[in-house]
Amino acid sequence: MKDILGSLDWNTILRTLWTMIILPIVVNVATYVKQWLEAKKLDRHAKKLYDIVVEMVKAVYQSVVENIKGTDDWTDEKKKEVKELAKTKILEALPTFVYQTLNAANSDFYAYLDSLIETAINDEKKRNKKKEV
């Protein structure tokens, strides 16, 4: 038995184990961890974007919409104008690195932003109806 163990080329065996078993496992684990961290980063950035959207929709609602809603000035054209104003304020308030990350992750960032704005507007409308009741 000692002769067999003594005659083995341990350097070759360890190199083979490293190449065939350990290295692929390390690469797979590292890839999984990297993907998990990217997903977490996207989640944080998406939350930051939504928080800014909600804040800016409230600000635009309070500064513009409350004053003209229910009047003849509140037209479909004015609604689009106010929505664009909110979008501009959101993009100004959004940190560059958050914008770049989310823009790279979403094939159509502006459609995604529009859907978030619509959601925030609907949430704001619901909050205002509850206040009235």
59-103 pLDDT tens trace: 988 888 888 877 888 888 988 998 999 999 999 999 999 999 999
Other beta carbons within 10 Å of 50? 13
pLDDT at 132 over 70: no
100-121 pLDDT tens trace: 999 998 889 999 999 999 999 8
Q: Is the dihedral of CA 40, 109, 101, 54 positive or negative?
A: negative
What's residue 5's pLDDT? 67
Domain boundaries along the sequence of the chain: 31-132
pTM above 0.75, yes or no: no
22-43 pLDDT tens trace: 888 989 999 999 988 888 988 9
